[in-house]
Amino acid sequence: METRVGDGINVEQIREILRMQFEAAATDTRDPTKITILRELSTTTADIPDAMIQAYWEIFEGLRDTELEHEMLRGIGISFWPESASDFVERFISISTGGD
C-alpha cells in the first residue's frame, strides 16, 4: 500500500524527487568531495523512513521558497557532510523547525 502525503503525492515520488535533486547538484559542481557525497545521498533515498519523508514534505510544501534546501545543498562538503539522504532530510527538518 502506498503512503500518500498532503496533496496526494506518495512517499516514493518524494524519494525520487530528492534523488534527482542530489544527482542534479552532483552534476552542477566540480568539487570531487561534494560529488561523492551527493551521489551517496542519491543512492540512499530509498532508506529514508516514511514518517521522515512525510515530515519533510509537509515542511517543504509550507516554505515560500526552496532557499533553505538550496543553501544546504551548497553547503555539502563545506559545512555539512551528511552520510545518507536520511541525514540530509533530518537536518532539513531540524533547521526548518527551529533546531540547529
pLDDT, one tens digit per residue, over 16-60 is: 999 999 999 999 999 999 999 999 999 999 999 999 999 999 888
Domain count, the chain: 1
Percent of the chain with pLDDT over 90: 71
For residues 68 and 95, give the distance between their C-alpha atoms in angstroms, rounded to a whole number.
9
pLDDT (0 to 100) of residue 89: 95
Sign of the CA dihedral 48, 16, 73, 25? Answer: positive
For residues 95 and 47, give the distance between their C-alpha atoms in angstroms, rounded to a whole number.
21
Paired with 9 in beta bridges are 5
Residues of the domain holding 86: 4-96
